[in-house]
């Protein structure tokens, strides 16, 4: 049985490698533009040879052993990130063999003897190394690093892991990575590529250059690793492992007990502060001063405060001395503790009225709960933060800190997903399985960094396709689709658009949740949600300003917040006409065209104007309301309340109205056509009748096409595009009359315009998805 599983695992791995190799080839051609074709050919041949060699030598069934993974943990902070990975490894014993090495401040009494957490989590510790030289100054850190380097080789020789996992930017981790790299042990570095403000930066980047594989938390981090010439195929955008637990942790019912246990009776949610300040080793003097000011501010702020002792870095002894001098441990407002178990700590952070200090937990984890944070000094400078963080970079007076506390305390922010979506561990497990032990350990220096267009393609290490959910809210139907980077609709869902706001929102969310669940087996990673809706939209804040009569109860609607909060994804909103134009720009005739216009006919008529490659919105988001271009002074009534708009002549609804009128006068049905009593008369009957020679029906269509023609000529004379794309079910019928109309009625210099019908099946849906795909994959430099 186990052998069978191993075989399957092996097959799976092979498949993964093949996927990667294809990615490489693609990258070679699209990204390495500076290499000449001969060199490219040579590289490609080399890759093919290597691949064949690998497959030959790996050809003996059953030789693949379990992957021996060693996790090295140094303190409570890195353990909080590594523990979820360790649980993941332990849960798949037929694929992985887990070894745990404990060192650094885990084993020191003053820092809470945190190795006990690992024992409590029931991991077997393979080796414990006392590596901390006491003194808490710069020299002691270096000596500690040296001590770790002396002790590690023995352990690595004994355990002989295939892969060693280290986390972050601590000096202990640097020792671990150095030892492993020198001993040819493959290193997976978790949380590389981030930028903060201290010596941590240098250490983190040094570990990156020692590591063979990278599991990063954010898009920006990935970009930084590429800029550091790391191989794109060895970088996994996983998200932060601790977020896997965090995102499920908020709604535990035991938080009241936990708050009581750590802060005392009578302290309620949002009524206390969590303070955690570490020394900044490159600027110890100043960081101690900030610490003193923070304590002063907290004393005057007079809220219950849980304060954690600083970490083991140089300067921490001095900070503890300051704390004792101010009598914090005896002060009635404070609870000073050395260590809080991680699961309880996140509950405390999640429900705090505010968090203050300079710990990475403030800028990272707190964002997941929307807890307000006051970040002091430079320790986290450069880190990506959510809107919940208020920075006090020059924390030089106690007033500044006090004022920041006043601003932040008790607030609630929307949850931020910058650092992860809760699926990091499963991605890392797949990534580890894809590691080919027969590949050379030698790292490659991937220069130059890959170009913009190839980044989005070759991210699929784990065989996931970057995708978006597109939503198309039309006058009749509500559609949701899973759309990939190339514009392929992997799955589509359609329901009648409900008549009330509540029902509509409920249906949108349930359809999206269904699609997100279906995306997993389809290997699509959903990056966000794009919504196309009728009506005027402010795309900056995701509000539907006012809608047409075609969609009820749909004015002054905040469409973004409820969808984003419920699905935990970024949400883009725009109107259907603009979305149709965006779809043409990304997937259709508009690709690479600077100035073009899309006119889409459905139940109503909408459109979008692309000028210099971007949409025109106007001063109040009312530009490109092409359906309401007036083509006559009176004419039929329009849904907008006016008369004579092109929509009132040529939309699906207008044609239906005319078909009904003819039918009521018994003028619609002609020979060769059947229409039973129950069937609703619509535009298609009108078209059918016209084809069969019904002159009345022909006349209606001719008028409709003429109305579109007038509208298009007006558009040509307003924005002078080089292309007009007619989209929607009626586009075919309007194309020739419109072309003819232009040749007759447009100014001669405006006639040089191409008129095409769209090739896209669901333009609004695709355009909605394109907003997500364009923005979430945009390079930052
Ligand atoms: Zn109108």
- The pLDDT tens digits for 135-150 are 778 899 999 999 999 9
pTM over cut 0.75: no
Indicate the residue among 226, 242, 258 that finishes a domain.
242
**Among 456, 460, 384, 433, residue whose Cα is nearest residue 188:** 433
For residue 376, being part of any structural domain is answered with: yes
User: Which of 244, 460, 574, 576 is an active site residue?
Assistant: 576
Considering only residues 673 and 249, tell me which one the structure prediction assigns the higher pLDDT: 673
Asked if the structure places residue 35 within a domain, the reply is no
579 and 599 co-located in one domain: no
Instruction: Say what the pLDDT of residue 197 is.
Output: 65
| Chain mean pLDDT for the chain | 85
Q: Same domain for 201 and 297?
A: no
CA of 290 to the centre of ligand 1 (A): 62
CA of 591 to the centre of ligand 1 (A): 30
Find the mean pLDDT for residues 637-653. Answer: 93
Instruction: Answer yes or no: do 776 and 741 share one domain.
Output: no
pLDDT at 27 (0 to 100):
38
Are residue 215 and residue 92 in the same domain, yes or no?
yes
Q: What radius of gyration, in Å, describes the C-alpha atoms of the chain?
A: 31
Q: Residue 510 Cα, ligand 1 centroid: separation in angstroms?
A: 33
Residue ranges for the known binding site are 628, 638, 640, 645
| Whether 545 and 631 share a structural domain | no
pLDDT of residue 455: 38
Per the structure, how many domains does the chain have? 4
Q: Are residues 675 and 718 both part of a single domain?
A: yes
Using the 3D structure, point to which of 242, 257, 291 is the last residue of a domain: 242
Q: Which residue has the higher pLDDT, 78 or 25?
A: 78
Collapse the DSSP code of 255 into the 3-class scheme (helix H, G, I; strand E, B; otherwise coil) and give the result.
Answer: helix
Which one of 141-150, 344-353, 436-445, 672-681 scores highest in mean pLDDT? Answer: 141-150
Is 270 found in the same domain as 201?
A: no
Q: Which residue has the tokens 């008549």?
A: 499
pLDDT of residue 603: 86
Convert the pLDDT of each residue in 42-67 to its tens digit.
455 456 666 666 666 654 444 457 89
CA of 606 to the centre of ligand 1 (A): 10
Q: What is the mean pLDDT of residues 754-775?
A: 92
Lowest mean pLDDT among 299-313, 380-394, 620-634: 380-394
Residue carrying structure tokens 């900070």: 319
Q: What is the pLDDT of residue 273?
A: 95
Looking at the structure, tell me whether residues 307 and 401 fall in a common domain. Answer: yes
Q: What is the pLDDT of residue 451?
A: 43
The CATH number for 182's domain is 3.40.50.2000
Q: Look at residue 35 and tell me whether its pLDDT is greater than 60.
A: no
In a domain, 754, yes or no: yes
Print burial letters for 652-690: b (CB count within 10 Å at least 16), e (below 16).
bbbbbbbbbebbeeeebbbeeeeeeeeeebebebbbbbb
Q: How far is the CA of 644 from the centre of ligand 1 (A)?
A: 7
Residue 155 confidence (pLDDT): 95
Pair type for strands 477-484 and 489-496 = antiparallel
Residue 7 is predicted with a pLDDT of: 43
Band (pLDDT 50/70/90 cuts) for residue 563 is: very high
Distance 416 CA to ligand 1 centre (A): 40
User: What order do you get walking across the sheet with 754-757 strand by strand?
Assistant: 614-615, 605-611, 596-601, 723-728, 754-757
Is the pLDDT reported for residue 69 higher than 50? Answer: yes
CA proximity to 350, closest of 333, 367, 374, 375: 367
Percent of the chain scoring above 90 in pLDDT: 49
Which of 561, 609, 617, 603 lies closest to 472, judged by CA?
603
Residue 650 CA, ligand 1 centroid: distance in Å: 11
Give ion ligand 1 contacts, CB < 5 A: 628, 638, 640, 642, 645
| Domain end point (choices 242, 262, 281) | 242
**Mean pLDDT of all residues in 489-494:** 95
Do residues 140 and 274 share a domain? no
Q: What is the band of 496 on the pLDDT scale with cuts at 50, 70, 90?
A: very high
Give yes or no for residue 184 having a pLDDT over 90.
yes
CA of 711 to the centre of ligand 1 (A): 12
CA separation (Å) from 351 to 266, 268, 372? Answer: 15, 9, 10
Angle between helices 695-719 and 731-745 (to 10 degrees): 60
Q: Is position 123 within any domain?
A: yes
Q: Pairing relation of β-strands 596-601 and 605-611? A: antiparallel
Nearest-10 Cα torsion for 24, 30, 31, 36: 100
Comparing 17 with 321, the larger pLDDT belongs to 321
Centre of ligand 1 to C-alpha 660, Å, is: 21
Tell me if the bond preceding 739 is cis, omega within 30° of 0.
Answer: no
Angstrom distance (rounded) from CA 740 to CA 709? 8
Q: With 60 as the cut, is the pLDDT of residue 391 above it?
A: yes
621 CA → ligand 1 middle, Å:
16
Q: From ligand 1's centre to the CA of 577, what distance in Å?
A: 14
Q: What is the whole-number distance in angstroms between the Cα of residue 508 and the centre of ligand 1?
A: 27
Kindly list the distances between the CA atom of residue 525 and the CA atoms of 431, 434, 490, 528, in Å, as whole numbers in the listed order: 15, 18, 12, 9
Annotated binding-site residue numbers for Zn(2+)? 628, 638, 640, 645
By C-alpha distance, which of 429, 464, 435 is closest to 58? 435
**Residue 738 forms part of a structural domain:** yes
| pLDDT (mean) for 699-706 | 95
Lowest mean pLDDT among 104-108, 222-226, 322-326, 375-379: 375-379
Which domain does 736 fall in, by range?
589-759
pLDDT band at 542 (very low <50, low <70, confident <90, very high): confident
How far apart (Å, rounded) are the C-alpha atoms in residues 22 and 18? 6
Distance, CA 604 to ligand 1 centroid (Å)? 9
Q: pLDDT digits over 316-361, tens only?
A: 888 899 999 999 889 999 999 988 887 788 889 989 999 999 888 8
Residue 609 has pLDDT above 70, yes or no: yes
The confidence score (pLDDT) of residue 409 equals 93
If one compares 648 and 244, the residue with the highest pLDDT of the two is: 648
Please indicate whether residue 137 is annotated as part of the active site: no
C-beta of residue 727 within 8 angstroms of C-beta of residue 755: no
Asked if residue 427 belongs to a domain, the reply is: no
Degrees (nearest 5) of the Cα angle 722, 725, 727? 170
Three-state DSSP state, 474: coil
769 C-alpha to ligand 1 centroid (Å): 27
Tell whether 607 and 745 lie within a shared domain: yes
Residue 533: φ, ψ to 5°: -140, 155
**Residue 452 counted as domain residue:** no
pLDDT at 80: 87
378 and 297 belong to one structural domain: yes
- Which residues are CB-neighbours of 394 under 8 A, at least 6 positions away? 400
The verdict on 313 and 399 lying in the same domain is: yes
Helices and strands, counts by H and E, the chain: 27, 26
Q: Where are the alpha helices (DSSP H) in 160-301?
A: 171-182, 199-210, 219-227, 241-249, 255-263, 284-301
- The 8 Å CB, 24+ separation contacts for 249-255 are 249/343, 249/346, 249/347, 249/350, 250/350, 250/368, 250/369, 252/347, 254/347, 255/347, 255/350, 255/351
CATH code where residue 505 lies: 3.30.420.40
Mean pLDDT of all residues in 726-742:
93
- Establish if 538 belongs to a structural domain: yes
- Model confidence at 17, pLDDT cuts 50, 70, 90, reads very low
Tokens of 413: 């922010």
pLDDT in the model for residue 1: 44
Q: What percent of the chain has pLDDT over 70?
A: 88
pLDDT at 23 over 90: no
For residue 450, the model assigns a pLDDT of 44
């Amino acid at each position: 049985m186990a052998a069978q599983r191993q075989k399957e695992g092996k097959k799976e791995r092979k498949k993964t490698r093949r996927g990667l190799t294809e990615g490489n080839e693609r990258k070679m051609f699209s990204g390495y533009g500076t290499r000449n074709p001969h060199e490219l050919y040579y590289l490609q041949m080399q890759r093919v040879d290597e691949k064949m060699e690998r497959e030959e030598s790996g050809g003996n069934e059953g030789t693949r052993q379990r992957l021996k993974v060693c996790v090295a943990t140094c303190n409570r902070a890195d353990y909080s990130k590594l523990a979820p990975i360790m649980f993941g490894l332990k849960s798949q014993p037929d694929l992985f063999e887990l070894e745990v090495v404990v060192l650094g401040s885990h084993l020191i009494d003053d820092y809470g003897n945190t190795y006990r957490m690992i024992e409590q989590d029931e991991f077997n510790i393979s080796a414990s190394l006392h590596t901390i030289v006491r003194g808490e100054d710069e020299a002691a850190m270096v000596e500690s690093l040296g001590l770790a380097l002396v002790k590690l080789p023995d352990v690595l020789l004994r355990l002989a892991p295939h892969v060693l996992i280290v986390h972050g930017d601590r000096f202990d981790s640097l020792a671990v990575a150095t030892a492993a790299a020198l001993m040819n042990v493959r290193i997976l570095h978790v949380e590389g590529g981030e930028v903060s403000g201290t010596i941590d930066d240098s250490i983190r980047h040094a570990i990156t250059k020692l590591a063979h594989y990278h599991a990063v938390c954010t898009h920006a981090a990935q970009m930084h690793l590429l800029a550091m010439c790391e191989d794109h195929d060895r970088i996994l955008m996983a998200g932060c492992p601790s977020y896997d637990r965090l995102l499920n942790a908020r709604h535990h019912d035991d938080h009241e007990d936990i708050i009581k246990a750590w802060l005392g009776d009578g302290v309620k949610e949002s009524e206390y502060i969590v303070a955690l300040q570490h020394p900044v080793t490159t600027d110890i003097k100043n960081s101690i001063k900030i610490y003193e000011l923070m304590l002063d501010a907290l004393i005057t702020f007079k809220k219950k405060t849980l304060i954690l002792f600083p970490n083991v870095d140089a300067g921490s002894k001095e900070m503890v001395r300051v704390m004792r001098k101010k009598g914090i441990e005896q002060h009635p407002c404070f609870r000073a503790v050395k260590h809080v178990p991680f699961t309880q700590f996140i509950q405390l952070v999640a429900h705090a009225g505010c968090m203050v200090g300079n710990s990475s937990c403030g800028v990272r984890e707190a964002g997941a709960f929307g807890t307000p944070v006051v970040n002091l000094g430079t320790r986290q400078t450069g880190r990506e933060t959510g809107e919940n963080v208020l920075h006090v970079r020059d924390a030089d007076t106690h007033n500044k800190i006090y004022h920041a506390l006043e601003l932040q305390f008790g607030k609630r922010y929307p949850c931020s997903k910058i650092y992860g979506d809760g699926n990091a561990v499963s991605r890392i497990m797949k990534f580890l399985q894809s590691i080919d032990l027969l590949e050379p350990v030698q790292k490659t220096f991937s220069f130059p960094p890959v170009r913009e267009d190839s980044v989005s393609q070759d991210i699929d290490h784990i065989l996931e396709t970057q995708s978006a959910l597109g939503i198309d809210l039309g006058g009749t139907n509500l559609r949701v689709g899973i759309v990939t980077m190339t514009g392929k609709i992997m799955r589509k869902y359609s329901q009648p658009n409900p008549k009330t706001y509540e029902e509509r929102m409920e249906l949108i969310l349930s359809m999206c949740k269904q699609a997100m669940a279906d995306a997993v087996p389809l290997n699509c990673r959903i990056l966000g949600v794009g919504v196309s809706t009728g009506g005027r939209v402010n795309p900056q804040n995701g509000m539907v300003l006012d809608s047409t009569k075609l969609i009820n109860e749909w004015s002054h609607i905040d469409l973004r917040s409820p969808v984003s909060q419920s699905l935990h994804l970024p949400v883009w909103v725009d109107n259907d006409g603009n979305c149709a134009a965006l779809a043409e720009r990304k997937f259709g005739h508009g690709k690479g065209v600077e100035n073009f216009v899309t006119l889409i006919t459905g139940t109503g008529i909408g459109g979008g104007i692309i000028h210099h490659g971007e949409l025109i919105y106007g001063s109040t988001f009312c530009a490109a309301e092409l359906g309401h271009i007036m083509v006559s002074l009176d004419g039929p009534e329009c849904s907008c309340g006016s008369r004579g708009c092109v929509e009132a002549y040529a939309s699906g609804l207008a044609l239906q109205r005319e078909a009904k009128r003819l039918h009521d006068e018994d003028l619609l049905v002609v020979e060769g056509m059947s229409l039973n009593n129950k069937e609703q008369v619509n535009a298609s009957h009108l078209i059918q009748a016209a084809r069969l020679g019904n002159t009345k029906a022909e006349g209606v269509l001719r008028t409709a096409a003429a109305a579109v023609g007038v509208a298009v000529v007006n558009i040509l004379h307003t924005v002078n595009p080089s292309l007009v794309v007619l989209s929607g079910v009626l586009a075919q019928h309007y194309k020739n009359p419109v072309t003819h109309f232009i040749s007759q009625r447009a100014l001669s210099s405006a006639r040089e315009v191409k008129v095409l019908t769209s090739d896209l099946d669901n333009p609004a849906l695709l355009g909605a998805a394109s907003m997500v795909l364009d923005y979430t994959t945009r390079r930052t430099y």
